[in-house]
Amino acid sequence: MGEILRDAWVVARKDLALELRTKTGLVSAAVFTALVLTVFNFGRDPTAVAALDLAPSILWVTFTFAAVLSLNRAFQLELENQALEGLLVSPIDRRSLYLGKLFANLIFVGLVEAVGLPLFALFFNIPIINILLPLAGLIAVATVGFVAVGTLLSALVIRVRFAELMLPVLLLPFLIPPLIGAVQVTARLLSGRPLSEVSGWLRLLLAYDLVFVSLATMLFSATVDE
Amino acid sequence: MLWADGVRHRFGAVPALDDVTFTLPAGHTLALFGPNGAGKTTLLKILAGLIKPSAGRAGVEGGRAGVGWIGHQSLLYGQLTVRENLRFWGSLYRVRGSVLETRIDALAARLDLGEQVDRRVATLSRGQTQRAAIARALVHEPTILLLDEPFTGLDRVAASELAHLVKAFARAGEGRATLLVTHNVEEGTDLATDIAIIKAGRLVEFAPRNARTAEQVGARYRELVS
């Protein structure tokens, strides 16, 4: 297992180095996040619906679309000069390749969310300082599930035409359960309710992470091998 | 050594390889000729472990860790420098630390990469990129070299350099074997100790080159393939 994780980190480090070199994906996703929040901010009638009622859904819709945008690039990197072929010929375990992509995507999506969260608080005038720790924890738990499934599916669609369109079509149905859970827990957190009220949703999110990280790690080989 | 034993492969309903059997002992260089769609690249990918054959067995001595793969694409990341690429690929083959750095410097010197080793791959010429691709394939000191149409797009000087390097690889150590897939009968024959011709997925010739000239091999190829 140690060797698998070490190889995974080699892959993740390379992906992050590539991203930091160009910053194209990171900047695009961060700008996209800011734009979506802006559109939602000006597209709602504050006299009709309270910001607090809409805020949890808007936060998660924004993060979901930003994650999809980010995940699209995960395997696009490997199409350049057919590097994917080299990765598959190399002796690293396929699980290392998947986990490496997962780590890099988690860091990448996490950075985008770190940009989006303060903007969300600013646009919707919602104080999050007091709940920052549990909210960050919730975002982390929900993001692991999103990204685990998204990383697998981005590998699946890499060789098909219109991969950018196929990924959201395949991914979004899988995201419905964690999205519902994340919205429910966020709503309770923003209302100042105790987390014990949503312990069932939290358990669902954790179970989703566990099941999909394990499943995706096992199934990854079938998606990349011809 | 590399071998194929009764290898058959289909892409859906389309047969790609039909009962391919051969053994290439250590110390030999095989040039595999065939028209487009004959199954050359499929056979190479099966030997490299990129494709699982529909039937039969194939492989290389030492498994994927011993394979150096050179295609007509460089498999390099354009936004990383040659050195960063070599560090990444070396790490995947468990070559790390000072051993890896020493090898990178030695390969850069041997392949006349000079200061290009610290330049981004995207800024290199085709010939320089191909030399970097060769360095990538050799950084883990493979015992088996698999080359898929490596002369495609190379000018005469770069093609000559590549041919020289393939010869040097075969001479550099015991237990080494090379399989070269190419359309170029002249360059392939010049490098080979053995000649194979594949037609419609069947190996129609596998014989030592002996003293045959490229013209004689070309005549035989036309006779079998036409």
Based on DSSP, count helices (H) and strands (E) in chain A, helices before strands: 8, 0
Residues of A in contact with B45 (CB under 8 A): 226
| Mean pLDDT on B95-103 | 93
- Report helix, strand or coil for A201: helix
Q: List the single residue in B with minimal CA-CA distance to A13.
A: B88
Spell out which chain B residues touch chain A, with contact meaning CB-CB distance below 8 angstroms: 45, 48-52, 63-65, 67, 69, 71, 73-80, 84, 88-89, 91-94, 121, 136
Q: Do A86 and B88 touch (CB under 8 A)?
A: no
Q: Is the pLDDT of residue B169 over 80?
A: yes
Which strand ranges, in their side-by-side order, compose the sheet holding B202-208? B67-70, B144-148, B177-181, B29-33, B194-199, B202-208
Distances (CA, A) of B24 to A124, B34, B60, B176: 69, 18, 9, 10
Three-state SS string across A137-150, please? HHHHHHHHHHHHHH
Of residues B77 and B158, more confidently modeled = B77
pLDDT digits (tens, 9 = 90+) for A81-122: 889 999 999 999 999 999 999 999 999 999 999 999 999 999
Predicted local distance difference test score (pLDDT) of residue B188: 84
Q: Is the pLDDT of residue B63 over 80?
A: yes
Predicted local distance difference test score (pLDDT) of residue B211: 76
Contact B200, B19 (CB under 8 A): no
- Phi, psi for A106 (deg, rounded to 5): -65, -45
Q: List chain A residues with pLDDT less than 70.
A: none
Q: Do A21 and B74 touch (CB under 8 A)?
A: no
Of A10, A82, A89, the CB nearest to B73: A82
The pTM for the full model equals 0.89
Is A24 an 8 Å CB contact of chain B?
Answer: no
Domain count, chain A: 1
State whether the Cα torsion B104-B109-B113-B118 is positive or negative. Answer: positive
A positions 56-115 inside 8 Å of B (CB): 77, 80-83, 85-92
B187 min Cα distance to partner chain A (Å): 24
Q: Do B84 and A83 touch (CB under 8 A)?
A: no
Residues of B in contact with A7 (CB under 8 A): 91-92
Judge residue B214's burial from the number of C-beta atoms within 10 Å of its C-beta, 0-12 exposed, 13-18 middle, 19 or more buried.
middle
Contact B205, B33 (CB under 8 A): no
Q: Do B91 and A89 touch (CB under 8 A)?
A: no
Could you tell me the residue range of the domain that residue A135 belongs to?
2-224
Residue A211 CB contacts under 8 Å (≥ 6 apart), including other chains: none
A81 min Cα distance to partner chain B (Å): 5
Q: Do B69 and A86 touch (CB under 8 A)?
A: yes
**CA dist., res. A90 & res. A87, Å (int):** 5
Confidence of residue B220 (pLDDT cuts 50, 70, 90): confident
Confidence of residue B10 (pLDDT cuts 50, 70, 90): very high
Q: Do A81 and B63 touch (CB under 8 A)?
A: no
**CA dist., res. A54 & res. A41, Å (int):** 10
Distances (CA, A) of B95 to A11, A221, B81, B144: 14, 24, 18, 17
Torsion of CA A24, A103, B80, B44, to 10 degrees: -120
Predicted local distance difference test score (pLDDT) of residue B78: 93
CA angle B22/B25/B26 to nearest 5° reads 150
pLDDT digits (tens, 9 = 90+) for B39-61: 999 999 999 888 899 999 998 98
Contact B182, B195 (CB under 8 A): no
A179 min Cα distance to partner chain B (Å): 35
Q: Do A81 and B93 touch (CB under 8 A)?
A: no
Of A22, A82, A225, the CB nearest to B52: A225
Judge residue A17's burial from the number of C-beta atoms within 10 Å of its C-beta, 0-12 exposed, 13-18 middle, 19 or more buried.
middle
Q: What percent of chain B has pLDDT over 70?
A: 100
Of B45, B52, B78, the CB nearest to A80: B78
Q: What is the DSSP letter of A199?
A: H
Residues of A in contact with B83 (CB under 8 A): none
Q: Is the pLDDT of residue B157 over 80?
A: no
Predicted local distance difference test score (pLDDT) of residue A144: 96
Predicted local distance difference test score (pLDDT) of residue B42: 92
Average pLDDT for chain B:
88
Distances (CA, A) of A69 to A31, A41, A107, A109, B78: 11, 21, 14, 9, 22
Residues of B in contact with A77 (CB under 8 A): 77
* Total CB pairs under 8 A between chain A and B: 69
Q: Is the pLDDT of residue B214 over 90?
A: no
ipTM, 2 decimals? Answer: 0.86
Predicted local distance difference test score (pLDDT) of residue A218: 93
Of A14, A22, A80, the CB nearest to B88: A14
Report CA Rg, chain A: 18
* Assigned token pair, B1: 């050594």
B99 min Cα distance to partner chain A (Å): 17
B94 min Cα distance to partner chain A (Å): 9
pLDDT digits (tens, 9 = 90+) for B17-33: 999 999 999 889 999 99
Q: Is the pLDDT of residue B153 over 80?
A: no
